Structure 1
């Protein structure tokens, strides 16, 4: 049975000289909950969708399409073996550490019922300098991207309460095959996939739709690194 192993928040954004904003909320820690989950508002004007969770830079994190970030404990365990270090729940900055459900193969627009809230998969986590510096791993952005176990961002379709131990039920799975993994590869390493990101419709963040519309497959690749895509810092 898929479940929430831990519910993680950053009580406050803390100073960090390796971030553009000068603060970060990446260091999230498990809490007992339950906590209120809701749609925070448009990106750039709102932070996390999890009550009591701090975000350092609202211009690149938070907002409706990054209201909640989830990561699978199974992927943590894989990384522990690869890196030879212990990784605690919340260490990747995720709000939900889960067990028994795959984030990588989840489809954009897939709907999960957790506690009394309904969440919709909206994209992958894109690794950034803050993530790499916080973990202290050289070459982390490239490695994390190539492995493509990014975890999933969610928007909130129905607000509610989520707590550790809550069961996760997949309510709806779209009939397209645009997965979290494909999304990550499209905006990082394989620009030819970008047009496919329009297939899930309103489930795709508006800034990504704009990115696809304003670029062609031919001239996209050189500009990807400079683009403000979801999750970058």
Structure 2
């Protein structure tokens, strides 16, 4: 059964050469139960609300299987939160999730898949070095994007919670199909 490996929130705002001047991509796992509400994980922030956050992008989920792929590609450990994600999940192909799909986490919280993550220059700067050059294209081409989620039912979750598929609209595009269309 799919499970939640970590719940992450911003660790520190970091200086960034983009238009906002800071980034909140540096997310790290939180201990214990964590509240998830309509606008996302408690204690999390977004530096650029124009492109992140809000009800349709309240939570960003990324799969451990995709993180493992990138860890091998980049030759370094990529712990939960490294992709700027709020939820690191295991055993769930996030990119094959259908838009409108509903997941229940820990028996209480319900989230709905709304759209794929679109990689940006801030993410490329976060990756850094030679790996950061061409990162947006490379990340996009590989199709290991992760998904944004809206929160349908608020509550608390914690690492180790089971993730259950509640419903999936069979004809809807997958996260990856939506990104590539």
TM-score (norm 2): 0.94
Instruction: Give the number of the structure with larger relative contact order, counting CA–CA contacts within 8 Å between residues 6 or more apart.
Output: 2
Relative to its length, the structure with more helix (as a share) is 1
- The answer as to 2:23 corresponding to 1:21 is no
Gaps of 5+ in 2: none
Out of 98, 102, 113, the residue aligned to residue 121 of structure 1 is 113
User: How much has 1:38 moved relative to structure 2?
Assistant: 1.3
Q: Deviations over 1:139-169 (max 9, x none)?
A: 0000011111100110011111111111000
- Aligned to 1:113, what secondary structure does the other structure show? strand
Q: Deviations over 1:16-37 (max 9, x none)?
A: 2322111111000011131111
The residue number in structure 2 matching 1:159 is 154
Q: Deviations over 1:168-216 (max 9, x none)?
A: 0000010214000011112xxxxxxxxxxxxxxxxxxxxxxxxxxxxxx
Query: Is the 2:116–2:147 Cα contact (8 Å) retained in structure 1?
Result: yes
Query: Is the 1:3–1:165 Cα contact (8 Å) retained in structure 2?
Result: yes
Gaps of 5+ in 1: 41-48, 187-233
The residue number in structure 1 matching 2:102 is 111
Q: How many residues align?
A: 177
Work out which of the two has the higher radius of gyration on C-alpha atoms and give 1 or 2: 1
TM-score (norm 1): 0.74
